[in-house]
Structure 1
């Protein structure tokens, strides 16, 4: 790719990452807030995952911004490695939390209340994240950034998680199934663990990991 075209793609990568970070902030705040109000574990877990993705996105934005300015990537590579360890361990810890709390809620017969805000958020995320995923993977291929392509995989996983959460909150609203929130939360564990494991593998220098499950 010509230098001018490469620089243009890097700048587009910066813009798409900024859009992604802004949405992650909204997603995390709304999911956690509505999850607390409705006592919905699946929504709170979804919001926590969004916060972790926000940290990873911030590091990636810094890396892209530095490349856009023509700076050396040596320090950025080290920062990405540290970020991968932090994100990976945090996601694995989140998975343990989801499993423990889900079991407690099932044993105690504790269900979630209806959350129409959560339903709206899940629908929005399910529509927005596939678009962001395609854009990140395309731009990542153009500039040769495995990190950006992996972040695109994280975005599509976020869409999968949104639809799982949506199924849970809709069934709670329509049928009043007290146990569905805990089951939906457990349904997120596979994706959370996969994201965490991919991040840890990347931190260990496993270059062929696809990141976040796709």
Structure 2
């Protein structure tokens, strides 16, 4: 009984963390996309789209955690929910990587640079401080629940922190030295981290699928 109560508390903590994460990502999506379009910044637009994709991943995790709460759920059912969550998170990250790569190449070819955005900078500063907290929280809860999907969702937050830091660095150097190419080049650098995380999550989901067959 004690074990069941402890497990239920972990689920509730995980759900609260995911609800907060999704709420923040929704705000981040709206502000970053608006600021990015106004400033012509591929990094800010990518930042916003990353937030949208993280909303999808977060909602999938919420679904997976609610599944674990359902009375009568078997270990097999939970594994299926876990696997699907990993596949969604991995696919989301890979799609984001492809998008950023394509737009960055276009901007470099067209010699398009970004303008300053105070709103975007403020959002990026907030994300740099908040994301590590969410990563730590999801990682510790994921380990306690033996949920790799929850840990992988935390890795999405690491990607968000990287993107926020890159937005700040790109904006600073563009403003100081007028390096129009830095925005798109930094975005290309991020593609490696994003697609690597996506590949690992997708591989985890597919490997589990083969194991369950």
Q: What range is the shorter-chain TM-score in?
A: 0.7 to 0.9
Structure 2 residue matching 1:134: 3-state secondary structure: helix
User: Is the CA contact 1:59–1:80 (under 8 Å) kept in the aligned structure 2?
Assistant: no
Deviation at 1:79, TM superposition (A): 4.8
Give the TM-score taking structure 1 as reference length. 0.86
Cα deviation 1:132-161 (Å, max 9, x = unaligned) = 111111112222222212222222232122
For the residues of structure 2 that align with 1:16 and 1:49, how far apart are their CA atoms?
Answer: 18
Is 1:29 aligned to residue 10 of structure 2? no
Is 1:188 aligned to residue 209 of structure 2? no
User: Is the CA contact 1:161–1:191 (under 8 Å) kept in the aligned structure 2?
Assistant: no
Candidates 117, 137, 154, aligned match of 1:152: 154
Structure 1 residue matching 2:15: 3-state secondary structure: helix
For the residues of structure 1 that align with 2:64 and 2:71, how far apart are their CA atoms?
Answer: 11
| Matched pairs, number | 207
Structure 1 residue matching 2:116: 3-state secondary structure: coil
Q: 1:76 to 1:52 in 2, by over 3 A?
A: farther
Unmatched runs of 5 consecutive residues or more in structure 2: none
Mean CA deviation greater in 61-70 or 114-123 = 61-70
Structure 2 residue matching 1:181: 3-state secondary structure: helix
User: Is the CA contact 1:98–1:185 (under 8 Å) kept in the aligned structure 2?
Assistant: yes
Deviation at 1:112, TM superposition (A): 0.7
Structure 2 residue matching 1:95: 3-state secondary structure: helix
Mean CA deviation greater in 25-34 or 119-128 = 25-34
Deviation at 1:32, TM superposition (A): 1.4
Q: 1:80 to 1:51 in 2, by over 3 A?
A: farther
Is 1:67 aligned to residue 79 of structure 2? no
User: Is the CA contact 2:61–2:85 (under 8 Å) kept in the aligned structure 1?
Assistant: no
Partner of 2:110: 108
For the residues of structure 2 that align with 1:86 and 1:146, how far apart are their CA atoms?
Answer: 13
The runs of at least 4 aligned residues of structure 1 exceeding 4 Å deviation read 73-77
Cα deviation 1:1-36 (Å, max 9, x = unaligned) = 822112111111110110111011111111111111
Unmatched runs of 5 consecutive residues or more in structure 1: 208-214
Deviation at 1:206, TM superposition (A): 5.2
User: Is the CA contact 2:83–2:149 (under 8 Å) kept in the aligned structure 1?
Assistant: no
Tell me how large the CA RMSD over aligned residues is: 2.2
Instruction: Give the structure with the higher percent helix.
Output: 2
User: Is the CA contact 2:97–2:194 (under 8 Å) kept in the aligned structure 1?
Assistant: yes
Structure 2 residue matching 1:169: 3-state secondary structure: helix
Matches within 5 A, 1:13-162: 13-72=14-73, 74-75=76-77, 77-162=79-164
